[in-house]
């Protein structure tokens, strides 16, 4: 399979009044053409920061890429200047956010918003751009597309608005689509429809997808692989079935035991007792030590490096590392 993206040892920090926050601390993964990788974790784990770094959207000077590479189509996104980035953002890499209302301009007809994107980057006539806009609305399942081009965002339901946002993200035919909590604001039925839409689009266009979510239930359907993030690191990554049926990290197991229930709101979910460490002065050892029922002496002292369980399945936990057993002696 063809590689679409390679993130290598990415470190991102933010300067705040309280000091420097180490938001992402050595993230590494690859993504193939036509593949869907889900990045899962609690809020503040660094998943959105990772997405923004891939897109070239870390706001300087408060945010800074401290180390690492993001290789996309032979470019290192971390080394490009603003002009070079603008040729890629929204064109070869597109991003979809949680709230469709903030992504749409309430004062512009949706046809204008679709056409604006594609005409900025390709030299299309107005007529060709309009045809493309209609094609896109049909692709995302909006009926009577031609008439609806003249309507404003408020004339659509929440689910329809998110479909329009997806159409805008796709109109320049990106190779990589990053969706950050794309269904969180939607009700469960609409969520399922939007996830199905991602699958359909991927089948038709071959786009690679990174799906960022706090909800393992969301990824169950469409992910090929899952990366679990905790305190700025990927602590386990593998094929979907490896993560769902053979999770090895205690944190991943905890997440799986708490797949959201319909009778609870997101805020009420607490997957695992305790809270993540603050990332002003991250621990040198495993970040999960304070919450982990299996913590050993070594866990607090030294970070557990990658243990390869299969070709695709990698975990960072001393329980899986033979050297820990020797050290415990």
Q: Which residues bind Mg ion (CB under 5 A)?
A: 48
Residue 282 C-beta: closest distance to ligand SF4, Å: 13
Q: What are phi and psi of 3, to 5 degrees?
A: -80, 135
Which lies closer to ligand SF4 via its Cβ, residue 68 or residue 304?
Answer: 304
Residue 30 C-beta: closest distance to ligand SF4, Å: 24
For residues 10 and 245, give the distance between their C-alpha atoms in angstroms, rounded to a whole number. Answer: 28
Query: What residue 48 binds from Mg ion, ligand SF4, none (CB within 5 to 8 A, per partner kind)?
Result: Mg ion
Residue 126 C-beta: closest distance to Mg ion, Å: 37
Give the strand order in the sheet containing 208-213.
93-96, 176-180, 208-213, 36-40, 225-230, 233-239, 314-315, 307-308
Strands (E), 73-160: 75-76, 93-96
Binding site for ligand SF4 (CB under 6 A): 249-250, 286, 288-289, 292, 294-296, 299, 304, 317-319
Residue 305 C-beta: closest distance to ligand SF4, Å: 10
For residues 149 and 194, give the distance between their C-alpha atoms in angstroms, rounded to a whole number. Answer: 20
CB 140, CB 163: distance < 8 Å: yes
CA 62 to chain centre: 22
Residue 248 C-beta: closest distance to ligand SF4, Å: 9
Query: What residue 140 binds from ligand SF4, Mg ion, none (CB within 5 to 8 A, per partner kind)?
Result: none
Token pair, residue 186, equals 């939607």
Query: What residue 153 binds from Mg ion, ligand SF4, none (CB within 5 to 8 A, per partner kind)?
Result: none
Query: What residue 304 binds from ligand SF4, Mg ion, none (CB within 5 to 8 A, per partner kind)?
Result: ligand SF4
Which lies closer to ligand SF4 via its Cβ, residue 258 or residue 289?
Answer: 289
Which lies closer to ligand SF4 via its Cβ, residue 135 or residue 306?
Answer: 306
Q: State the number of CA atoms in the 13 A half-sphere of 101 facing the CB.
A: 6
């Amino acid at each position: 399979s063809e590689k679409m993206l390679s993130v290598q040892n990415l470190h991102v920090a933010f300067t705040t009044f309280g000091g420097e926050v180490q938001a992402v601390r050595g993230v590494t993964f690859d993504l193939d053409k036509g593949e869907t990788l889900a990045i899962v974790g609690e809020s503040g784990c660094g998943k959105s920061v990772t997405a923004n770094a891939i897109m070239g959207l870390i706001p300087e000077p408060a945010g800074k890429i401290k180390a690492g590479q993001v290789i996309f189509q032979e470019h290192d996104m971390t080394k490009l200047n603003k002009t070079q980035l603008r040729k890629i953002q929204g064109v070869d890499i597109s991003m979809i956010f949680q709230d469709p209302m903030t992504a749409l301009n309430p004062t512009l007809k949706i046809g204008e918003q679709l056409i604006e994107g594609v005409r900025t980057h390709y030299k299309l006539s107005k007529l060709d751009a309009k045809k493309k806009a209609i094609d896109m609305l049909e692709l995302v399942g909006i009926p009577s597309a031609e008439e609806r081009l003249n309507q404003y965002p408020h004339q659509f339901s929440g689910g329809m608005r998110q479909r329009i946002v997806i159409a805008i993200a796709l109109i320049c035919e990106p190779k990589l689509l990053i969706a950050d909590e794309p269904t969180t604001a939607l009700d469960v039925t609409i969520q399922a429809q939007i996830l199905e839409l991602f699958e359909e689009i991927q089948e038709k266009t071959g786009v690679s997808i990174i799906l960022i979510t706090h909800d393992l239930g969301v990824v169950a359907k469409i992910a090929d692989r899952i990366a679990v993030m905790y305190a700025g690191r990927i602590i386990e990554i593998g094929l979907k079935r490896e993560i769902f049926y053979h999770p090895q990290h205690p944190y991943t197991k905890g997440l799986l035991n708490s797949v959201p229930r319909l009778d609870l709101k997101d805020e009420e979910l607490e997957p695992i007792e305790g809270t993540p460490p603050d990332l002003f002065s991250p621990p040198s050892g495993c970040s999960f030590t304070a919450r982990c029922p299996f913590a050993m002496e070594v866990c607090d002292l030294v970070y557990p490096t990658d243990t390869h369980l299969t070709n695709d399945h990698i975990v960072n936990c001393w329980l899986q590392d033979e050297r820990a057993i020797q050290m415990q002696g």
